Amino acid sequence: MNPAGASSPRQPDSYVLVVDDDPAILTTVSEILQFEGYAVRTATNGAEALRLVEHARPWAILLDMRMPVMDGWGFARALRTRGIDVPIVVMTAAADSRRWAEEIGAAGHVPKPFELLDLVGAVERLRAG
Amino acid sequence: MSADSLLQLLTQVIFITVFGVVCARAARHRTRANMDTALLFLAFTLIIAQQWASAVLRITPAGIAGAMSGAFLMALPYLLLRLVDDFAHVPRALMWSAAAGLVLAVAALVLYQLLPWSSGAPSPLPLPLLLALVAYFVALMVYAAARYITEARRASGVTRRRLQAVAAGSLLLGLLLVLAPLQMAVPRAAELWQIASRLLGLGAGLGYFIGFAPPAWLRRAWQEPELRAFLGRAAALPHLPDRSAIVEALERGAAGALGVPGATIGRWDEDEQALRFQLRGPALREALARAQHLVSQAPFWVEGNRFLLKPGRMIAGRAFAQQQVVLTTNPKRDDPAHAPFYDAVQTRALLAAPITAGERRLGVLVVYAPRAPVFAEEDLYLVKLLADQAAVVLESHALIEAAARARALEEAARLKDDFLSAAAHDLKTPLTTLLAQAQLLARKAEQMPEAPADRAGIERIIAEARRMSALVNELLDAGRVGQTRLVGQRTPIDLVALATEVCARWPPGRCVLVSAEPVVGEYDSHRIAQVLEHLVENAVKYSPNGEPVTIRVWSEGDQVRLSVTDRGIGIPSSDLPHIFDRFYRAANVDDRQFAGMGLGLSICRSIVEQHGGRIWVASTPGHGSTFHVVLPIKAGGGAV
C-alpha cells in the first residue's frame, strides 16, 4: 500500500471522483482511497463534478445524492445525456439509498455511515469489473 | 233540502262534532281548560238541540224552555271568557261583570220568554233590551277574540294557527249577533240576512273546529314548514365547533317547531351521573337556586350557569330513565314533591322526550310553557321526532370531533416520524466522518506502526464529534421551544463584537458586517450568537450564487436592531407566515437539495421572543431575503 500521494502505477491518468457537499467527508474519503493507492479528485456538488468529468474521465464515481446547485440525480442525468458511462457508487445517509441507486442505474451503493472496508471493497469491485 | 237548510245542518254538525271531540279530551285529561271548552260547546250543542227539537216537533217553545236557548246563547261569551282566563289572565272585575251580565241577560230573557233567534218574524223584545244583549255579547266576543289574537302573536306554528282560528270564529259569532238588530231594522232584506247569518254561523263553526279540534292532517300540514326548517338547519349543526352552540340551536329549533316559548336539552354527563342543562339568564339561575333550598332532598342543583338533575327524578328525569315521552299539563299535581321548582320556572305544561342514539342515552329534550293547555297528542309524536333528530345531530358532532382528534393524533405521529428520520439523517453525516476517520487512523496505525500520529485526522474526529454534539443540542433545544428554558443568564454584551465573531467564521467575503458603533445590551450571548449564526448559515445555504451575506447591527431608542440580508433564492410569500414554524420547509426548497430538519428558525424565534423581542422576514422570491430582529436593550423591556 502506498502512502497518500501521486497516482499509483495501477491507474495511470485516471482517478476516482468523490462528490459530496460535506467537506469533512470529502477529505476523509479521499484520504481513505489515497491510502489504498488510488488517485482521487473531489467535487462539492454535481456541477463541479460535471466540469471535472468533462475535463478528464474518472474510472469510478462515489456520489452523494443530496447536494445544492446540482444534486445526484441531475448529475447522473447529465452523464447519461453526454453518453458518459462511468460506474457510480451511491453514498448517502438517506434510508432509500438502494432505491436511489437503482433509480440512477448505479453499480452499487454504500449507505452512510459506512465501514471503511465496505467503502474500499465497493471501489475495488468497480476496478475489477 | 234547500241550500239554506244544508248550510244550517252543516254548521250544526260541525259544532256537535267539536263538542264530541272536546268531551273525549276532557274525559282523558281533566284539566280546567278542557272542562271549560267542553262547557262552551255544551252550550252550543244545547242551542242546536233546541233548534232540532223545535224543527222536529214543529213547536215554538214558549216559557222557560223558550228562554233557555237565548240563555245558552248569552252564556257563550262568558264561557269563552273563562277559556281565555285559563291560559291568559283576565281581570277579575271583567270576569265578575261578565257573570253579572249573564245573570241579568238570562233574567231579562226569562222575563220576556222569547227566542231572539226566530227566523223572519219580528222579535217582541224591546229594542233597548235587544241592543243591550247584543252589545254585551259582541263586546265580550270581541274582547275574547282580541286576547286570542295577542296570544297568537306570541305563539308560533300549530298553536298560533289554532288561536287565530278561535279568534276568527269568535268574531264571526259576534258579527252574527249584530245581524239580529239589523234584521229588525231592515226587514225587507230578510233573505239577505238569512244567508248572511247562515254563512257567518258556518264560518264560526269552522273557525272553532280548526281552533279546538283540528284534524291530524291539518296539524301536520301546519307543523311541516317548521319541521322542515328545523331539519334543514339541523343538517348544518354538527359542523358547528362549539357543542353548546349546537345545543342552543337545537333548543331554539324545537321551541319554534312546537310553537312554545321554551325548550331545553339536558345532556347526560357520565362523570356527574346527572343530566346537565344550560341556563340562560341570571334571573332563572337565582330562581332555581332558591327552589333548590325550598325542596327537601332536591335531586337537582345549580352550578354556575348549569343546572344538573339526577336521572329518574322529576318529570324530565323520569322521561330519561324510562326512555319514554312524558307529557304533563299539571306538573305540580304529577310531581308534587318538587312543586316549588315548577313555581320557580313558571311552568304549567311540560313535555319531555329522551334523546337516544341507538343504545346510547344522550339526554332529554324538555319543552315547556308557562300556561296550559298548549300541547296535544300530536305534539308527543313531534317532540319524539325532534328528540331523535337532536340525537343524530349530537352523535354526528361527537363523531366529527373524534375524527378530528384522530387526525390530529395521526398528524402528530407523522410529524414525529418525519422529525426522527430527519434527525437521524442529519446525525449520520458527521457520524460518517467520525467512523471512517477513526477506522482510517486504526488502519494506518496497524500498517505503519512507526509513523507519527496523524494529527489532522485526529482533529477531524474531534471536530465532527463536536458537530454531532451541536446537532444533538439543537434537537434538545427544539424540545424547549415554547417553554422558557431556552434563554439563560443575561450579561451585557456588545452585539457588534458578537456579529464580527460570527462573520469571521466564514471565508472572507462571504459575510459582511455593517455597523456604526458598538451596541451593548443584556442578552444571553451564547443564544444570540446561535441566532445570528443560524441566520447567516441559512443565508449562505440558500444563496448558491455565492453573493455575500450582510449583517447590520444598530440601535433605535431603547431597542436594538439586527438584520441579515442575502441575495439568494428568496422565500415565496405564501410561506412567509409559516417560515418560523417547527419542521416547516418552504415550497421552493427542494428537500433533496437542501437537507435540514426545519427546526432552526423556530428555535431562533423562541430565543428572540424569550428575550422580549421579535423576529420577522421580508423576502422577494428570486432576489433574496432579509431577516429582522428587534430586541430590548434591557432585560424585562418588551420590544414593540
pLDDT along chain B (640 residues), means of 10: 82 92 86 85 90 76 67 88 82 90 85 55 66 88 90 76 90 86 76 85 92 85 79 81 87 81 89 88 81 82 86 89 86 84 84 90 89 61 86 89 91 80 82 93 90 87 88 77 71 90 83 86 89 89 81 90 90 82 61 58 88 91 92 68
Chain B stretch 466-525, residues whose beta carbon is closer than 8 A to a beta carbon of chain A? none
The three cell numbers locating residue B67: 228562554
Q: Which of A64, A62, A70 is nearest to A17 (CA)?
A: A62
Start-to-end Cα distance in chain B: 96
Residue with cell 485526522: B457
Q: Which of A71, A44, A77, A39 is nearest to A58 (CA)?
A: A39
- The stretch A6-24 carries a mean pLDDT of 72
Gap between the Cα atoms of A32 and B94, Å rounded:
115
Gap between the Cα atoms of B591 and B354, Å rounded:
56
Residue of A nearest to B438 (CA): A116
Instruction: Pick A24's closest partner by Cβ from B433, B440, B593.
Output: B433
Cβ proximity of B33 and B80 under 8 Å: no
For the question of whether the overall pTM of this predicted structure is more than 0.80, the answer is no
Mind telling me how many Å the CA of A114 is from chain B's nearest CA?
6
A-B Cβ pairs (cutoff 8 Å, strict): 73
Gap between the Cα atoms of B517 and B401, Å rounded:
57
Instruction: Pick B429's closest partner by Cβ from A27, A73, A93.
Output: A93
Residue A39 pLDDT: 94
- For B154-166, the DSSP string reads H--HHHHHHHHHH
Domains in chain B, CATH or no CATH each:
3-214 (1.20.1070.10), 237-400 (3.30.450.40), 491-632 (3.30.565.10)
Mind telling me how many Å the CA of A25 is from chain B's nearest CA?
5
Domains in chain A, CATH or no CATH each:
16-128 (3.40.50.2300)
Gap between the Cα atoms of B530 and B498, Å rounded:
10
R_g over Cα of chain B: 44
Q: B129 CB contacts (<8 Å, ≥6 apart)? A: B108, B112
Cβ proximity of B604 and B475 under 8 Å: no
Mind telling me how many Å the CA of A99 is from chain B's nearest CA?
14
* B235 CB within 8 Å of a chain A CB: no
Interface with chain B: mutation pick from A20, A31, A48, A96, highest number of B CBs within 10 Å: A31
Cβ proximity of B614 and B588 under 8 Å: no
Gap between the Cα atoms of B586 and B573, Å rounded:
10
Give me the phi and psi of B502, to 5 degrees please. -60, -45
Mind telling me how many Å the CA of B615 is from chain A's nearest CA?
27
Per-residue pLDDT band at A53 (split at 50, 70, 90): very high
Each residue's pLDDT tens digit, B150-197: 888 877 677 788 889 999 999 998 888 888 777 777 777 777 888 888
Q: B448 CB contacts (<8 Å, ≥6 apart)? A: A3
The three cell numbers locating residue B95: 270576569
What are the strands, taking DSSP E only, across B336-457?
349-357, 360-369
B429 and A35 within 8 Å at the Cβ level: the answer is no
Tell which phi-psi region holds residue B581, choosing left (phi > 0), alpha (psi between -120 and 50) or beta.
beta
Residue with cell 441566532: B531
The three cell numbers locating residue B352: 319531555
Gap between the Cα atoms of B105 and B346, Å rounded:
38
Gap between the Cα atoms of B136 and B174, Å rounded:
10
Interface with chain A: mutation pick from B417, B420, B425, B429, highest number of A CBs within 10 Å: B429
Each residue's pLDDT tens digit, B437-486: 999 999 999 988 888 888 888 988 998 898 888 888 877 777 666 566 67
Instruction: Pick B439's closest partner by Cβ from A1, A25, A116.
Output: A116
Residue B45 pLDDT: 92
Start-to-end Cα distance in chain A: 21
B431 and A114 within 8 Å at the Cβ level: the answer is no
Residue with cell 433564492: B569
Which H or E run contains A11? none
* B538 CB within 8 Å of a chain A CB: no
Residue of A nearest to B422 (CA): A94
Residue A13 pLDDT: 66
Query: Which residues in A have their CB inside 8 Å of a CB on B?
Result: 1, 3, 22, 24-25, 27-29, 31-32, 35, 65-69, 71, 73, 93-95, 112-117, 119
- The stretch A55-77 carries a mean pLDDT of 90
Kindly list the residues from chain B whose CB atom is less than 8 angstroms away from the CB atom of residue A29. 436
Kindly list the residues from chain B whose CB atom is less than 8 angstroms away from the CB atom of residue A22. 429, 433
Give the burial class of A107: count Cβ atoms within 10 A of its Cβ; 0-12 exposed, 13-18 middle, 19 or more buried. middle
Strands B624-632 and B549-556, by their bridges, are unpaired
- The stretch A58-64 carries a mean pLDDT of 94
Residue A82 pLDDT: 92
Gap between the Cα atoms of B499 and B511, Å rounded:
10
Residue B122 pLDDT: 41
Mind telling me how many Å the CA of A73 is from chain B's nearest CA?
10
Residue B222 pLDDT: 82
Kindly list the residues from chain A whose CB atom is less than 8 angstroms away from the CB atom of residue B429. 22, 25, 93, 112
Each residue's pLDDT tens digit, A86-118: 999 999 887 788 899 998 999 999 999 999 999
- For B448-499, the DSSP string reads -TTSPP-HHHHHHHHHHHHHHHHHHHHHHHHHHTTSTTS----EEEEHHHHH
